[in-house]
Amino acid sequence: MSKNRILIIGPVWPEPTSSAAGTRMIQLINFFISEGYEVLFASAAAKSDFSFELTGLGVKEYEIKLNDNSFNLFLNEVNPDIVLFDRFMMEEQYGWRVQQECPDALRLLDTVDLHCLRLARQQSIKTGHPIDLFTDTAKREIASILRCDISLLISEVEMNILQEQFHLDPSLIYYLPFLEEELTDKDIQKWKTFEEREGFVFIGNYLHEPNWNTLQILKTKIWPVLRKKIPTAKINIYGAYSSQKVMQLHNEKEKFYVHGRADSALEVIANNRILLAPIQFGAGMKGKFIDAMIVGTPSVTTSIGAEAMKGELDWNGIIEDDAELFIDQAVRLYQDKTLWLAAQKNGVRIINERYGKIQFTKALITTISTLNLSAHRQHNFFGQILMHHTTNSTKYMSLWIAEKNAKN
């Protein structure tokens, strides 16, 4: 049966100008709209000045409450064919209510990135101990994936981890990277030339710990050495949610310019010669590199930064984990026009061959529309067990909170 109404439940209202996660959500919304779905978006969060105007796309917006039975009434009213949870925490919060009120709705989870992987890497960097994936966060996240019918993964590395480390059935997870328009010769002709660009750039949402950590690495370890090797160069730092601790890193004498939020990430990246991103930990995919490739800006990053992004193709720049070599390679790429132009071409290939949306959207819609839900769920019996027990525990905790709120 063809599905025609999808309800998306988000922890926040999408902010594509603030984060790759926001961009990802808008891509998913546009995908479902293009396939003829009626899209509803609901969140308990307050909107910010940077929240995307979803109604302009024809999306119906709904404010919902946490731990409140009004959400059940809302579900009955809108009666969705598909419910998409934006990150596992939304499934934890609302999944049992969806199961109770809309048992026949297909439950999708967009993981955004594997939180347990990102946090395990962060912990490993902090303590110096080996990476331990089998944490309480992993238990929660994997349980959420098991309770859903299909989980969307943005990274092939994470697909492998879920199958090899956690032994998840491949039928429960689906690879869906960023969905981009292919770059044409016309797009490429608009790019600024090597000579028209100057400086290095880094951009990121600083509420996201990997970005804040990367900025500190740039400030303390990379830039002090790099600027001595290219005295004329500067570095431009942009990003959403640049708090006081971010802004105070600005130092004109060191040519370390912290600008705060960019009106257009693509524009500021396009003005610079190289995107510099010595990322130490993280997961998923980094939207900053997609943006850089779209505007023809080569990048220098680490193996974690470039993880799962290039497949078997050559990177659009340099991948280097050793700090000293990282700096040397950044200098080389900044000064060598031939190398720089070759890196640009690599970026075009990566976008067109790995992220061209046409190659992914038809397969996804076929998977969704032809899925035999009862057989699929029967095959995923562990998911049913988890749904049975988790639903009850989460349900009674939530009902207790709702009752408590009602009395106050």
CB-CB neighbours of 291 under 10 Å: 22
Overall pTM surpassing 0.75 (yes/no): yes
Q: Which domain holds residue 137?
A: 5-179+357-407
What dihedral do alpha carbons 13, 15, 20, 24 form, nearest 10°?
50
Say how far apart CA 401 and CA 93 lie, in whole Å. Answer: 12
Considering the domain architecture, whether residues 146 and 35 belong to the same structural domain is answered as: yes
- Transcribe 344-392 into DSSP letters: HHHHHHHHHHHSBTHHHHHHHHHHHHH--HHHHHHH-HHHHHHHHHHHH
Q: Are 33 and 57 in contact (CB under 8 A)?
A: yes
Considering the domain architecture, whether residues 71 and 167 belong to the same structural domain is answered as: yes
Considering the domain architecture, whether residues 349 and 362 belong to the same structural domain is answered as: no
Scanning 44-102, the segments in alpha helix (DSSP H) are 70-78, 88-101
Of residues 111, 7, 123, the one with CA closest to residue 54: 7
Considering the domain architecture, whether residues 277 and 340 belong to the same structural domain is answered as: yes
Considering the domain architecture, whether residues 111 and 202 belong to the same structural domain is answered as: no
pLDDT averaged over consecutive 10-residue blocks of the chain (408 residues)? 82 96 97 97 97 97 94 97 97 94 97 97 96 97 96 98 97 98 98 98 97 98 98 97 97 98 96 98 96 98 97 98 98 98 98 96 94 95 82 67 73
Q: What is the pLDDT of residue 365?
A: 94
Q: State CA 209 to chain mean position distance.
A: 13
Considering the domain architecture, whether residues 55 and 148 belong to the same structural domain is answered as: yes
Residue 232 to residues 218, 270, 355, Cα–Cα distance (Å)? 17, 19, 36
Of residues 259, 284, 256, the one with CA closest to residue 111: 284
Considering the domain architecture, whether residues 203 and 147 belong to the same structural domain is answered as: no
Q: What is the pLDDT of residue 2?
A: 44
Say how far apart CA 203 and CA 243 lie, in whole Å. Answer: 14
Element (H, E) at 5: strand 5-10
Q: What is the CATH number of the domain that holds 231?
A: 3.40.50.2000
Considering the domain architecture, whether residues 153 and 249 belong to the same structural domain is answered as: no
Q: What is the pLDDT of residue 404?
A: 73
Considering the domain architecture, whether residues 173 and 89 belong to the same structural domain is answered as: yes
Considering the domain architecture, whether residues 348 and 393 belong to the same structural domain is answered as: no
Instruction: Select from 337, 354, 371 the last residue of a domain.
Output: 354
SS3 for 265? Answer: helix
Say how far apart CA 278 and CA 210 lie, in whole Å. Answer: 10
Considering the domain architecture, whether residues 329 and 392 belong to the same structural domain is answered as: no
Considering the domain architecture, whether residues 170 and 198 belong to the same structural domain is answered as: no
